[in-house]
Structure formats: structure tokens, C-alpha cells
A and B are shown apart, each in its own frame.
Chain A
Amino acid sequence: MARTRYGTDRGLTARMFGTLFGLGLMYVLLAAVLYAFGFSAIFILGISAALLFGQWWFSDSLSMKAMRAVEVTPEQAPQLHAVVDRLCAMADMPKPRVGIADSDAPNAFATGRSPNRSVVVVTTGLLRRLNRDELEGVLAHELSHVAHRDVTVMTVASFTAILAGFMVRSAMWGSMMRDRRDQNTALIFIAVMVVSVIVYFVSYLLINALSRYRELGADRGAALLTGQPTALASALTKISGDMATIPTRDIRQMEAVSAFAFAPAVAGKREFTLEQWFSTHPPLEKRLAQLAKIAGELGQR
């Protein structure tokens, strides 16, 4: 039996399991609150599920519109398509559509509800700044997101947060509409609101933690696919260094886009350590450290 250099990262899997377990707990807690909420709960559940389903189903076209990206044919961008072709052949996955967004901010993202309906988009700023190997690394990172079905996973994961957000709002409306003299109902509404706020906050933290782990997973997948962790590290350094100075409002228009972008669409300095908890992407040092570790493993005989 041939040996393999491409094992899985047990630590990362364990951390991801912990996060998913926490998110599952939030679902249970929310179900209990919904039960207390009574009849109108079904209505709220329906609306948030429909909303999220729509966002998932149309994720490719929605994100492309938000980024003002256009799909390009192999004739229009032969080099880009050639790299994607080969990465897909090596990974044995269906080839996603390829798009280019006319933006100077160097970034890339992948969305789509399934690997067969996915699109990988890079910005013109990215194409200008990166060399061949770095671009290959970034594309491999995005293809890893597609292969890992990150859009679907994150959509399911963000359901609690959206639902809890809806419930806070409806509980507020509910308590205003009803008869205030009925003390019991008012108390229930306040309790529902407090629990919903807590659920919203905790799921928000957990979703971001999950997103950071998915990013590390995609980095790992990309490094193993191309065998060039250092090229990916170099691309990350180039992009993250530039990112802080470039306003990227257009990327932030949609949460869903930010979650699968190559580098976080958050401008500004990172002095506040608590910010890490609210970030969708792991800090640069952490990503570079992981890539350095993989480079070491690949170099061993």
C-alpha cells in the first residue's frame, strides 16, 4: 500500500466538531423558545427558512450581482480557465463557472449551492497583483471551499442566528400589540426576547468560529492540492497587507459573500484582541503557520 502524505488535520476536525455541537445546542434552545412562543412560531420559522433557502439556492447569482462580477468564457480568459481546468482535473471535481469582478481590491470568492452549480470569482485587482503560482494557490483555496460545500454548511449553520433575530423582532412587536394588563403574556414575551438575544449572540460567535475553521480547512486543501503551500502563503501576505488600506464596501454588502472570500472584507487595524472572536477569517499569522507546517510535511522523505 502506497503511503500517503495527505492525512486529515485531527485538531481542526475536533475544533469544528465542538463548534457544530454548540450550534446544535442553539437549535435545541431555540426550539424550546419557539414552543413557548406558541402558534406564531410556525410563521416565523417559515419566513426565516424561506429567506435562507432563497439565499442558498440563488447564492451564485446573488453574490455575482453583489460583486458586479461577470462570467468569463475560456476564450475571454484562457489563462484563468487553464489553471482552473488543471486544478479540477487533479482534484477530480466538476469545473465551476469562472467569473471576474472589476474591482481593484485583490480578492476572490466561491459560491453556489452545489459543486455542479458553483462559480469562482476573482477580482481584476487580484489578477494584477499575483503571479502564476500565487493565483493558482488562491484558486485552489476557492475550489476547496466548493469541494467542502462550504456554502451549504454555512447556510445551515447561520439558520439559528437568522431565526433568533426574527424572534427578537416579533417578540418586540408582539409585546407592543397585546394588552399590557395581561402580566403573564408580557413576562413570556420578555423571556423569549432575552433568550433569543442570547441565542443570537452565541450563534453569531459560533458561526464566525466555524467560518474561521472552514478557512483553515480550505487553506489546507489548497496547499495539498497544488503542493505549493509557500505560494499560497505569499499570496495571503500580499493580499492581507494590501487589504487594510483599500475600502471594500461592495464586498460587505452581503454577509454570505464575505464568508467565502479569500481574505476578510474588513478594513482597519487589528489591535483589539476581542476582534478575533468576531472575525470570519483566521488571523494571517495563524494561516501562515499552518501552511509552514504543511510545507514541512511535504518536504519529508
Chain B
Amino acid sequence: MGFLDAVFGRRKPARPNLDSLFGIPSAAITVQAALDFVPTGRAAVAFRAPEGRAFADIENEVRALLDADGGPPVELAEDSLGFDWIVVRTDPIDVATAVTDAHAVNTSLVESGFGPQLLCSLVSFRGPDDRPLALIYLYKAGTFYPFAPVPGEREQRDNVLELQVRDLLHGELPMEKDLARWFAVWDAPGL
């Protein structure tokens, strides 16, 4: 933010950075090889839907576009904090396709002028004993972080596993250094 923006009390909305998203498929192989966590083929895009007709129309167009390829239909779900999640599934499991679909959702929103509403994207994994893990991409920062809720516990995170994943993917993806930004997405659809 520039000096003039501070003086005049305004701020340019953060613009999303979509490039790093395509690093996920190779990172998924690394995670599977080292930690035995396999991708579920699900990806989800979270955004804060602004009020008004314009956004609702665009959202419908995006879903129609993704459903046109004949795969499992995309889902739209709202979480407890009022954020919308577009969940894409692939059958058979294919991380590359899921990531491409997630990327398409993002580009559509950015191109229609709603880029600042994007929160994050998520790609989910399952480990031994059905332990969930998600790799989350923060658009505005352009960084990734892992999120691993402890199954069966209420709002507990497996921090050891999360740090393991961070160190594992350190050279492969831009990982978020500021741990305070690793916010939890407990009830994220697609997890």
C-alpha cells in the first residue's frame, strides 16, 4: 500500500495470484510418496459471494461450464461463516483435472471483476486410518499451507503433520511462512 493510499484512507483490493495452483499435482505425488496420503480427487474454491444479481449470474455460468464436461456435477455449499465453496469432484481420481477446474472457477471470477472476493482453494487428501489433510492455497498471498484436522476430535489440528507437510513441500511450492495465516477451515466442504 502506497503513502498516498494511507493519506487518503483507501486501499486497492488485493489481487489474486493464480499461477502457483498448477504446482499442486506434482506436490500431490511428493505427499503420497513420503507420507502415504492419497489425493481424493476433490478440490474446492472458497469465496465470499457479494450481494446482488451480477455475482449470482456469474456463479451459475461457472457451474454450467464445469458441468458441461460430463464428469461428476460440481456442488455449491455454504459454510458456517457465510463463505461459498464450489466443490469439484473427479471420477476416476485425477488431481490435475480437479486443479484445472478449480483454476477455471478462479479465472471466471477474476475476469468478471470479482477477484477480490476469493478466499482460498483447497485440495484434499486422505491418509492411513482415513486421516484428512488439505493443501490450501491463499490467493492474495500466493502461498500454500497444510490443514489437518484430527478425526473424531472437535476443532483439533494435527500440527505435527502440518509442519511435516510444510517441510516436505518447502522446495516445491511457496509455503506460507507466517503461521498466524494458517487459518482453520473446520467445516470446509470438499475436505
Contact = CB atoms under 8 A, between A and B. Distances in A.
Interface stretch (A60-68, A141-149, A201-209, A269-277): A141-149
A228 B1 contact: no
Given A90-B140, A91-B14, A132-B81, A2 B113 contact: yes
Interface in A185-208: none
Interface in A230-277: 230-231
Contacts, number: 132
Interface string B14-54: 10000000000000000000000000000000001111111
**Residue among B52, B54, B180 with the highest chain A CB neighbour number at 10 A:** B52
A71 to B, nearest CB: 14
A259 to B, nearest CB: 13
A147 B113 contact: no
A301 interface: yes
A140 B50 CA distance: 14
A149 B11 CA distance: 10
Given A226-B48, A228-B50, A229-B51, A88 B181 contact: yes
B128 interface: no
A97 B11 CA distance: 21
A295 B50 CA distance: 9
Interface stretch (B2-10, B64-72, B91-99, B163-171): B2-10
Size category, A interface:
35 or more
Contacts of A144: 11
B75 interface: no
**Residue among B10, B13, B53, B180 with the highest chain A CB neighbour number at 10 A:** B10
Contacts of B8: 8, 12-13, 16-17, 217
Interface in A65-96: 78, 82-83, 85-86, 88-92, 94-95
A129 interface: no
Given A132-B82, A133-B82, A299-B52, A92 B14 contact: yes
A95 B181 contact: yes
A20 interface: yes
Nearest to B110: A2
Given A4-B113, A147-B11, A221-B11, A228 B51 contact: yes
A218 B119 contact: no
A32 interface: no
A149 B6 contact: yes
Contacts of B52: 295, 298-300
A148 B6 contact: yes
B11 A90 contact: no
A89 B11 contact: no
A6 interface: yes
From DSSP, what is the main secondary structure of chain A's interface residues? helix
B51 A227 contact: yes
A225 B116 contact: yes
Contact of A301 (B48, B51, B54): B54
Interface in A3-34: 3-6, 8-9, 12-13, 16-17, 20
Nearest to B183: A85
A175 to B, nearest CB: 38
Interface in A99-152: 132-133, 136, 144, 147-150, 152
A82 B80 CA distance: 10
Nearest to B14: A92
Contacts of A8: 8, 10
Contacts of B57: 301
A23 B61 CA distance: 51
B183 A89 contact: yes
A285 B175 CA distance: 45
Given A152-B6, A227-B55, A300-B54, A82 B183 contact: yes
B51 A230 contact: yes
Contact of A82 (B48, B81, B114): B81
B153 interface: no
B190 interface: no
Interface of B: 1, 5-14, 48-55, 57, 81-83, 110-120, 138, 140-141, 155, 178, 180-181, 183-184
27 contacts: A3-B111, A3-B112, A4-B13, A4-B113, A16-B7, A16-B9, A83-B81, A86-B119, A89-B119, A89-B140, A90-B48, A90-B119, A90-B140, A95-B180, A95-B181, A133-B82, A147-B11, A148-B5, A153-B6, A217-B8, A224-B116, A227-B50, A227-B55, A228-B51, A230-B51, A299-B53, A301-B57
